[in-house]
C-alpha cells in the first residue's frame, strides 16, 4: 500500500513544481514510510510514497516503461490478488524486471488499455501517464477500498490519496458551501458518492475510471452490481460461498512481510483468522491475532438489543481454537480523547469520533508487530448482517435505515445555512437516487426487490464509510489492512442470492454461518452479531463534554460560525438520546464529532461561502 498524488498541466511547465510536490509528498509519508519518489516532465508531476509489501527491493515508484516511441509512467496504491494469472498472460508479450504487482498493472494497461481494470482483482487506485499521448488514465477499484481524490481547475488536474494532500497545493481552495454543510451536518460520517465535502473537490467513485487530457476530464463506470437470475439450490449456494470466501482469504495472504489478523470474536474476523491460521500452519508458521478492549469495560458493559454480549469470552475461545499468538490492545479514556484529533488528521474530515480514534490506536499498536493485517469489513453489507436488513419495519422505511435523525441534525445548522438547505430533501434525494440505481429483475418478489435496494444503499453509503475509516486509520501508521469480503466476485454473487438463503434459519448471515460452519467452534459460529466495540466507561462522556465546553468558551473557535451554540449547549446537558449515526454514534460520539469538526475547521482554515 502507498500514497499517490500528481499534477497535470498543459499551460505551465510541471518541472518547476518540485517544491510543491515535495510538500504534497510529506503529507503522504505516513501512508508510505519505506520509499518515496517524484517524477517531473513538462506536463505531469507524479508523486509516490511506498509501504513495501511485495518485492521490497525492486518495486519502487513512480515506475516507467518505454516501448518504442511510447512512454508510460504509473503511480499505484493497492494490492492485486490475481497477479500470478495476469502476469502469466502478459509474459507472452513482455519481460518482467520485478516481482511487484505494480509492474503487472502497468503492463496490463499497455496491453489492454482501459479494459485492463476489468481484469484486475484487487484493491487499487492508480494513474498512468502516457507521455506520447499527453493524457493521464485514472482508475479506482470496484469496491472503493482505496481512495482517489481530485480537483480540476481551468489549467490543472490535481489528484491524491488524501484530501489534505490536495490542500497542500496552493491552487486548491479550502471552501465550504451549503452542500458542504449539508454533507457534514446531515450526512457525515458518510459522504455522497463522489463527494469530498469541500467545494470543487471530488472522489472517483468505486468502479469508475477515465482520462484527463487537453480535452478535459472524462470518467465512466466500468463495473456495477448487476442483477441476474440465479437458479441454484441452497446446498449449491453454500458451496459457492465457501469457495469464494476461502479463495479470497487465501489470495490475500500473499505477502513478503509478516501478516496477522484482527480478531473480535465475531463471525467475520473469526472466519478470516481460522482460514489464515490453517494456511500458515501448512508453512510451519503461527498466526498473530489482535483484539481491542477498553479500560474497565467489563465493569460498565450493559447488554442491549444491538450488543447482547461483549467480545473477550469469544476472543479467548477463538484464541484457544486457533492456537494463535494473541495480542490485546487496551485503550484508556485519556488516550482515546487525545486521538480524536489524530483521527481527523488521518481521515481528512470529521468522522466517526471514538470509533475512528480507537481503530487508529489499535492499528498503531499492531504496526509494532507487522505490516499487513486482514479484517472482516463488509460481510454484514453483503450477507445481510445488520439489524435493518432483518427488522421488517426498519427495512421498509423509506430512507437511510442507519440515519433517521435528519430533523434532529438540522437543528444544529446555523440559520444562514439552514435557510439555504432543505434538509429533508437533501437526505431523501440522496437516498432515493441510490435506491433507484439498484438493478432489479421483473421476477423479484417484493422482499428480494427491496433487498437489492438495501444492498445497494449499504454498498454505496454505509460500507464506504467503514472502508474510509479502515483505510485512513490503518495507513496513518503505515499498516496495510486487507479486506477479503470485499472481493468483487463475492459482491457480484451475493447480490443475486435470494434473501431466503441469506436469512437461513432466521439468523443474521445465516448463509455464511452454514457455508463456513466447519471453520469455527460452535460458540462463535452461533454468536449473535455484535458491533465494533466502543468504550462503556462513563468517564469518556465526561471527558468529551469537558473538551466541547472548553471549545465553546474559546474565542478562537470557529465552530459556532457553522453550528448553533444553543444546540451545542443543549447537547452538553446530556438529555439528548437521539442516535447520530446508527448504533455506532450515540450521545458521547455526537459530542466527540463536534470536537472533531472544530479541529478540522481550524486545521485546514476552511472558508465559508
Do 50 and 2 touch, CB atoms closer than 8 A? yes
Q: Is the four-CA dihedral 594, 595, 600, 603 of positive or negative sign?
A: positive
Joined grid coordinates for residue 136: 493521464
Do 191 and 465 touch, CB atoms closer than 8 A? yes
Which residue among 2, 260, 317, 378 is the active-site one? 2
Q: How far apart are CA 289 and CA 374, in angstroms?
A: 10
Joined grid coordinates for residue 110: 499497455
Q: How far apart are CA 479 and CA 471, in angstroms?
A: 9
Q: Which of 263, 272, 251, 310 lies closest to 290 in space, CA to CA?
A: 263
Q: How far apart are CA 516 and CA 532, in angstroms?
A: 22
Q: How far apart are CA 572 and CA 440, in angstroms?
A: 45
- Whether 209 is catalytic: no
162 three-class SS: coil
Q: How far apart are CA 570 and CA 411, in angstroms?
A: 11
Give the number of other CB atoms < 10 A from CB of residue 149.
23
* 605 class by beta-carbon count within 10 Å (0-12 exposed, 13-18 middle, 19+ buried): exposed
Q: How far apart are CA 92 and CA 64, in angstroms?
A: 20
- The residues near 68 (Cβ < 8 Å, ≥ 6 apart) are none
Strands of 35-40's sheet in order across: 35-40, 44-50, 2-9, 156-160, 149-152, 201-203
CA distances from 508 to 53, 270, 390 (A): 35, 16, 7
Q: Which of 463, 260, 318 lies closest to 379 in space, CA to CA?
A: 463
Joined grid coordinates for residue 142: 470496484
Do 63 and 73 touch, CB atoms closer than 8 A? yes
Q: What is the DSSP letter of 256?
A: S
Q: What is the largest CA-CA distance in the chain?
A: 71
Cα 68 to its chain centre, rounded Å, is: 39
Q: What is the dihedral of CA 348, 353, 355, 356, to 10 degrees?
A: 20
Q: What is the DSSP letter of 134?
A: T
Catalytic residue IDs = 2
Amino acid at each position: 500500500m502507498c500514497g499517490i498524488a500528481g499534477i497535470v498541466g498543459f499551460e505551465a511547465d510541471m518541472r518547476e513544481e518540485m517544491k510543491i510536490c515535495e510538500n504534497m509528498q510529506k503529507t503522504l509519508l505516513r501512508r508510505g514510510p519505506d520509499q518515496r519518489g517524484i517524477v517531473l516532465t513538462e506536463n505531469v508531476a507524479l508523486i509516490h510514497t511506498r509501504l513495501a509489501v511485495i518485492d521490497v527491493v525492486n518495486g519502487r515508484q513512480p515506475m516507467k516503461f518505454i516501448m518504442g516511441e511510447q512512454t508510460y509512467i504509473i503511480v499505484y496504491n493497492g494490492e492485486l490478488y490475481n497477479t500470478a494469472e495476469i502476469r502469466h498472460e502478459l509474459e507472452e508479450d513482455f519481460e518482467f524486471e520485478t516481482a511487484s504487482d505494480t509492474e503487472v498493472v502497468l503492463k496490463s494497461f499497455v496491453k489492454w488499455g482501459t479494459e485492463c481494470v476489468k481484469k484486475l482483482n484487487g484493491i487499487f487506485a492508480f494513474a498512468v501517464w502516457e507521455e506520447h499521448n499527453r493524457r493521464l488514465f485514472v482508475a479506482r477499484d470496484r469496491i472503493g477500498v482505496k481512495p482517489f481524490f481530485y480537483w480540476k481547475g481551468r489549467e490543472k488536474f490535481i489528484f491524491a490519496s488524501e484530501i489534505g494532500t490536495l490542500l497542500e497545493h496552493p491552487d486548491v481552495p479550502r471552501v465550504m458551501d451549503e452542500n458542504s454543510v449539508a454533507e457534514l451536518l446531515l450526512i457525515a460520517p458518510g459522504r455522497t458518492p463522489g463527494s469530498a465535502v469541500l467545494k470543487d473537490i471530488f472522489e472517483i467513485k468505486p468502479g469508475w475510471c477515465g482520462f484527463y487530457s487537453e480535452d478535459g476530464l472524462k470518467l465512466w463506470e466500468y463495473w456495477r452490481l448487476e442483477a441476474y437470475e440465479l437458479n441454484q439450490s441452497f446446498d449449491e449456494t453454500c458451496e459457492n460461498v465457501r469457495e469464494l470466501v476461502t479463495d479470497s482469504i487465501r489470495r490475500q495472504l500473499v505477502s513478503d512481510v509478516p501478516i496477522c489478523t484482527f480478531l473480535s470474536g465475531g463471525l467475520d474476523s473469526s472466519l478470516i483468522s481460522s482460514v489464515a491460521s490453517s494456511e500458515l500452519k501448512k508453512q510451519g508458521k503461527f498466526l498473530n491475532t489482535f483484539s481491542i478492549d477498553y479500560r474497565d469495560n467489563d465493569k460498565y458493559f450493559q447488554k442491549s438489543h444491538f450488543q447482547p454480549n461483549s467480545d473477550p469470552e469469544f476472543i479467548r475461545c477463538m484464541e484457544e481454537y486457533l492456537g494463535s499468538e494473541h495480542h490485546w490492545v487496551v485503550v484508556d479514556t485519556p488516550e482515546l480523547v487525545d486521538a480524536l484529533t489524530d483521527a481527523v488528521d488521518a481521515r481528512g474530515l470529521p468522522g466517526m469520533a471514538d470509533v475512528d480514534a480507537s481503530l487508529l490506536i489499535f492499528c498503531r499498536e499492531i504496526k509494532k508487530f507487522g505490516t499487513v493485517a486482514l479484517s472482516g469489513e463488509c460481510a454484514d453489507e453483503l450477507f445481510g448482517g445488520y439489524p435493518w436488513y432483518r427488522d421488517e419495519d426498519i427495512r421498509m422505511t423509506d430512507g437511510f435505515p442507519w440515519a433517521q435523525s435528519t430533523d434532529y441534525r438540522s437543528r444544529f445548522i446555523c440559520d444562514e445555512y439552514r435557510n439555504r438547505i432543505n434538509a429533508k430533501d437533501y437526505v431523501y434525494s440522496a437516498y432515493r437516487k441510490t435506491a433507484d440505481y439498484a438493478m432489479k429483475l421483473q421476477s423479484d418478489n417484493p422482499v428480494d426487490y427491496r433487498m437489492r435496494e438495501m444492498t445497494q444503499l449499504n454498498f454505496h453509503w454505509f460500507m464506504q464509510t467503514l472502508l474510509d475509516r479502515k483505510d485512513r486509520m490503518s495507513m496513518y501508521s503505515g499498516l496495510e489492512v486487507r479486506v477479503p469480503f470485499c472481493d468483487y466476485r463475492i459482491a457480484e454473487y451475493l447480490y443475486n442470492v435470494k434473501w431466503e438463503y441469506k436469512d437461513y434459519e432466521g439468523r443474521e448471515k445465516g448463509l455464511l454461518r452454514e457455508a463456513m460452519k466447519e471453520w469455527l467452534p460452535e460458540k462463535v459460529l452461533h454468536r449473535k452479531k455484535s458491533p465494533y466495540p466502543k468504550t462503556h466507561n462513563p468517564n469518556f462522556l465526561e471527558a468529551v463534554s469537558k473538551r466541547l465546553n472548553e471549545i465553546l468558551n474559546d474565542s478562537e473557535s470557529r465552530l459556532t460560525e457553522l453550528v448553533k451554540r444553543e444546540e451545542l449547549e443543549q447537547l452538553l446537558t446530556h438529555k439528548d438520546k437521539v442516535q447520530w449515526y446508527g448504533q455506532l454514534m450515540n450521545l458521547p460520539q455526537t459530542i466527540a464529532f463536534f470536537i472533531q469538526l472544530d479541529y478540522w475547521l481550524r486545521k485546514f482554515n476552511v472558508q465559508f461561502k
